[in-house]
Structure 1
């Protein structure tokens, strides 16, 4: 065996990582009667929820008076991940744990918000999807849980170092605030009037620990977690270097390449989902000027000419109707193949959402400060300068 030098560091094993997680849960968990777990269906939150459930069942950590698992269902998860999440929730319920599926309010669901109100697909400069689909609904459910419990509870998350540089920086700053060490779990304490304090019990786990645990949770503990590894493209039994891949929503318009969906449809049992690859090009298409209204000659609240003349805004009613047809056709194409193969069907837009979208389009609903009388973005218009002067077009195109 090679002797470690002063410059070597002992590599953290999964058993040692679990031991540190137990220590943090025993210590911080003892201060709270009630716990909750934020569950997204991804690899890290799945590892967290199955780990905590197993540690409670085996008596390695004390069982709180209540443990509530909150699944944030955006209705935009990759179908195999959503199916695995539903399987995990069912297994947790069978073991006596309280689980809740948290949905966005109807008008804030992805396609209702986009096609019903005309809000363009999210972008890196206008990322409305996360707050509307996940944050707002989870905050509402957490407030409800706080009222039910009558006191502040402990919120467990799957936050882990190495997921992103920005997140690592937030963890580093937070750890210096409370004097904790990341190896013992990242703990954030808030005021006594707050909804919950937060603990990330696997913050110190490496990605290989996550994959190893997900395999163990499936083979030894009965949780359907192996499918999660397959979605991420990681065969945890092949001996290769574990992937630190991340997944997003179906056809995420914020990325240049939807690697997660590509990995899914490359596998034979999910190849029938291939029509979903048409979504991202569709999102990019409707961002173009001809599908959107734009402001021209807009005044600010002081009656002065607004600074951003010509800014693109919501989707036109015609664009929304056309896009709705495209999305429904993609959904139908997937489901025809699913039924033919006896595979699970998908629901991009369900009946309730479709009815609401059609209702909002019929009512000509637009986002605040837009009414649909604005010209479309492809119409050539005179340029208006800040002083109010106008540069007329040499040739009229209308």
Structure 2
């Protein structure tokens, strides 16, 4: 079980660093135990943002510490390119996925990156110009479902069909918003196993959120103090965030409770959902 956490905003830097170190040690053991518990494949949602990077880094390092004969279960890394992403972020993510594939092979790890895209009939311009849809707005966010949710869900369903079930590892955190915290708390009440929540939209898939109790300070401290295992620069990631609105990255979207991220650098350049 996740221990009760202190308000990390009031902690000094050395105390916060020690707290994060203890969390990492605990999460490493937890990830290893969950990974080795069964043969259910894992799917990690990766957006290139800080939260998904932190989660992937945690899982990568935890599995890398296992003996070779125990790290055979596939871990799929999925990232959805809407085809209207900020070009800088799109390039960043694609380069990261390429490095993951190379590093996984070199380190003999079971990570398999999968760049995803919406189908042609779901693409932004086909819907906006071809079908005459109005520009997306808060009460009609047709873009979120077609550009982000459908590609991810299609991949997850294919894995479920092939393996019977799957575990979806996400970087969702309660500190993102009150709505997100409420949604996560609601799902936590229905947990069938410790730390694994049911996925309301996809049967036979469970959600694991390792850093659900982390705040921004903990995420950044981890990324800045622990080296990226697939060779991408976390310091460059920090630079990308400079000037972006606070905490508005685009995570892997699997439901419509995820807020729009068009007002940040992590978002679609055509986004009309900016406040």
Question: What is the TM-score with the length of structure 1 in the denominator?
Answer: 0.53
**Alignment partner, residue 50 of structure 1:** 57
**Alignment partner, residue 4 of structure 1:** none
Q: What's the CA shift string for 1:118-173, capped at 9, x where partnerless? A: 1011100111111111111111111112233x321221111112011101011222
Distance 1:204 1:234 in 2: 25
> What's the secondary structure of 1:188's corresponding residue?
strand
Distance 1:203 1:126 in 2: 28
Q: What's the CA shift string for 1:161-197, capped at 9, x where partnerless? A: 201110101122232333878xxxx421469x93421
Equivalent pair of 2:80/2:115 in contact (CA under 8 Å)? yes
Across the aligned residues of Structure 1 and Structure 2, the Cα RMSD in angstroms comes to 3.5
2:191 maps to which of 174, 178, 185? 178
Structure of greater relative contact order (alpha carbons < 8 Å, 6+ residues apart):
2
**Alignment partner, residue 130 of structure 1:** 144
> What's the secondary structure of 2:76's corresponding residue?
strand
**Alignment partner, residue 141 of structure 1:** 155
Equivalent pair of 2:167/2:205 in contact (CA under 8 Å)? yes
Distance 1:199 1:214, change over 3 A: same
2:36 maps to which of 26, 30, 39? 30
Distance 1:246 1:156, change over 3 A: same
Distance 1:258 1:197 in 2: 28
Distance 1:221 1:247 in 2: 21
**Alignment partner, residue 94 of structure 2:** 86
Structure 2: gaps of 5 or more residues: 1-9, 106-110, 252-258
**Alignment partner, residue 255 of structure 2:** none
Distance 1:144 1:121 in 2: 31
Structure 1: gaps of 5 or more residues: 1-7, 236-242, 265-275, 285-398
> What's the secondary structure of 1:177's corresponding residue?
coil
Question: What is the TM-score with the length of structure 2 in the denominator?
Answer: 0.75
Equivalent pair of 1:217/1:223 in contact (CA under 8 Å)? no
